[in-house]
């Protein structure tokens, strides 16, 4: 704990002289009789400056999480810190999403009064937000071609080099993958959870097939074909979990990103989330999905705001405006593999029983 080093004045501590002097509307600078100051430009600046402040806090927390996961072994108590800071990032996202409502109090015609003064500046040039995306796991190579072009092409040389340097460091996604691959419990002594899980899945699929076959006589030819095709796809989807070659094929095609071992261990955590030792890991993965979802929602809302303000006009940074932003929302996700784990859930009543020795490892009591 730090000790007091003398009196501190609120105004000086927050550097309010400098901070409150950072809003310089261009419409005020270039105002004349024909073009007076655009009143809502002040709102536009303040909202975006507030975003950047909160992005700074997100990065502060995200960098600390990356540091924790960079260790060869993550201590149990540090996992609680990770969960706490991910939760704070999530809460910040919820809060800044509400700022769009404040920005929407500006009408499209009010925006047009100063919009041309912003060209070619764009929110796309927010290097802090791009840094967050990269450090979460959305690297340049994960973007569509037009997105990659805009990602780097609209930045200053210094900002471009800075963001490229971040690409060379492990992202949260890659660190999560490595951490999941080290997860114990699934194979111990004579117990192999995945053999038991496969047996349970096979039994469930056999029951599904029997149900489909018993109802074939009541179905049209088109319905029969659909039911059988769905059953075949379900079997292949489950089978790909246990076939390294099939899994790698999906990775190469962009259908999966996590390694097979990390995927299996993440699924184990999801299936047995109520076991004490797996509660925090489950909470951590859930928060990562929340953060991914919140960024996707924020991008969609940003796209709708752009359409509301500009219609089909080109964005100030040269992008296709609303169309570009909507495409970015559809494609720029990090933890899709965690969302897709629900594909492999089975009823809790059909879960394999964990042996007593492993059960003791998953509980706090000895």
Give the pLDDT confidence of 242-255 residue by residue, as tens digits.
899 999 999 999 88
pLDDT beyond 80 at 48: yes
- Cβ contacts of residue 76 below 8 Å, gap of 6+? 280
144: helix, coil or strand? Answer: coil
Angstrom distance (rounded) from CA 11 to CA 318: 40
pLDDT in tens, 116-161: 999 888 888 899 999 999 999 998 777 765 566 666 778 899 999 9
Q: CA–CA separation, 270 vs 283, rounded Å?
A: 10
Give the CA count within 13 Å in the CB-facing half-sphere of 113. 22
Mind listing the pLDDT tens digit for each residue in 235-245? 999 999 989 99
Give the other-Cβ count within 10 Å of 221's Cβ.
Answer: 8
Mean pLDDT, rounded, for 2-11: 94
Domains of the chain: 10-361 (1.20.58.480)
| 156-208 tens-digit pLDDT | 999 999 999 999 899 999 999 999 999 888 887 777 888 999 999 999 999 98
Does residue 322 or residue 360 have the better pLDDT? 360
Q: What torsion do the CA atoms of 75, 79, 81, 82 make, to the nearest 10 degrees?
A: 130
Q: Report d(CA 95, CA 131) in Å as an integer.
A: 20
**Nearest-CA neighbor of 42 among 103, 98, 116?**
103
pLDDT over 70, % of the chain: 94
Residue with tokens 């246990």: 242
Taking phi over 0 as left and psi of -120 to 50 as alpha, with beta for the rest, 73 belongs to beta
- Return the biggest CA–CA distance within the chain: 87
> Regarding predicted confidence, which is higher, 363 or 78?
78
* Pairwise pLDDT comparison (211 vs 346), residue with the higher score: 346
pLDDT band at 361 (very low <50, low <70, confident <90, very high): confident
pLDDT score of 151: 66
Q: Is the pLDDT of residue 81 over 90?
A: yes
Instruction: Give the range among 48-57, 71-80, 277-286 with minimum mean pLDDT.
Output: 71-80
For 298-353, the pLDDT digits (tens) are 998 888 888 888 887 665 554 556 677 777 777 789 999 999 999 999 999 999 98
Q: Determine the pLDDT at residue 144.
A: 62
The residue among 329, 281, 274, 286 whose CA lies nearest residue 305 is 329
Q: Which of 115, 86, 265, 301 is nearest to 186 (CA)?
A: 265
Contact 61, 128 (CB under 8 A): no
Q: Quickly list H helices, 216-351.
A: 221-240, 244-252, 260-271, 276-310, 322-331, 336-339
The predicted structure's pLDDT at residue 363: 84
How is residue 228 written in tokens?
Answer: 């059988």
State how far the Cα of 214 lies from the Cα of 267, in Å rounded to an integer: 32
State yes or no: pLDDT of 233 exceeds 70: yes
d(CA 129, CA 93) in angstroms, rounded, equals 12
Using a cut of 0.75, tell me whether the model's pTM lies above it: yes
Query: What distance in Å separates the CA atoms of residue 274 and residue 152, rounded to the nearest whole number?
Result: 44
Q: State the sign of the Cα–Cα–Cα–Cα dihedral 298, 304, 307, 310.
A: negative
192: which strand partners?
A: 187
User: What are the φ/ψ torsions at residue 272 (nearest 5 degrees)?
Assistant: -115, 40
The pLDDT value given to residue 76: 84
pLDDT digits over 258-305, tens only? 999 999 999 999 999 999 999 999 999 999 999 999 999 999 888 888
Q: Residue 83 and residue 77: Cα distance in Å, rounded?
A: 10
Q: What is the pLDDT of residue 46?
A: 97
Average pLDDT, whole number, for the chain? 89
Which residues, in sequence order, are CB contacts of 91 under 8 Å at separation 6+? none
Give the per-residue pLDDT at 145. 53
């Amino acid at each position: 704990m730090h000790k007091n080093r003398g009196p501190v004045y609120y105004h000086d501590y927050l550097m309010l002289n400098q901070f409150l002097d950072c809003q310089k509307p261009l419409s005020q600078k270039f105002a004349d009789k024909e073009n007076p100051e655009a009143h809502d430009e002040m709102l536009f600046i303040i909202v975006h400056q507030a975003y950047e402040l909160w992005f700074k806090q997100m990065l502060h927390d995200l960098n600390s999480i990356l540091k924790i996961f960079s260790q060869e072994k993550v201590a149990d108590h540090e996992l609680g810190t990770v969960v706490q800071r991910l939760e704070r990032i999530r809460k910040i996202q919820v809060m800044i999403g509400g700022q769009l409502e404040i920005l929407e109090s500006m009408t499209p015609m009010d925006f047009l009064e100063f919009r041309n003064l912003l060209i070619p500046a764009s929110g796309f040039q927010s290097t802090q937000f791009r840094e967050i995306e990269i450090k979460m796991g959305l690297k340049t190579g994960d973007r569509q071609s037009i997105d990659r072009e805009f990602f780097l092409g609209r930045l200053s040389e210094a900002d471009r080099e800075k963001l490229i340097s971040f690409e060379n460091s492990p992202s949260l996604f890659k660190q999560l993958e490595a951490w999941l691959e080290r997860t114990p419990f699934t194979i111990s002594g004579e117990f192999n959870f995945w053999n038991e899980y496969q047996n349970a899945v096979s039994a469930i699929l056999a029951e599904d097939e029997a149900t489909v076959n018993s109802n074939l006589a009541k179905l049209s030819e088109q319905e029969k074909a659909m039911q059988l095709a769905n059953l075949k796809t379900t079997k292949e989807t489950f089978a790909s979990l246990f076939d390294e070659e099939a899994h790698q094929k999906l990775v190469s095609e962009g259908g999966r990103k996590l390694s097979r071992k990390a995927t299996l261990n993440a699924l184990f955590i999801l299936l047995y989330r109520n076991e004490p030792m797996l509660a925090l890991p489950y909470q951590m993965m859930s928060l990562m999905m929340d953060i991914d979802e919140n960024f996707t929602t924020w991008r969609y809302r940003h796209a709708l705001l752009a359409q509301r303000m500009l219609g089909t006009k080109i964005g100030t940074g040269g992008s296709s405006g609303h169309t570009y932003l909507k495409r970015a929302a559809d494609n720029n996700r990090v933890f899709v593999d965690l969302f897709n784990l629900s594909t492999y859930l089975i009823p809790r009543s059909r879960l394999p029983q964990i042996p007593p020795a492993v059960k003791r490892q998953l509980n706090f009591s000895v």
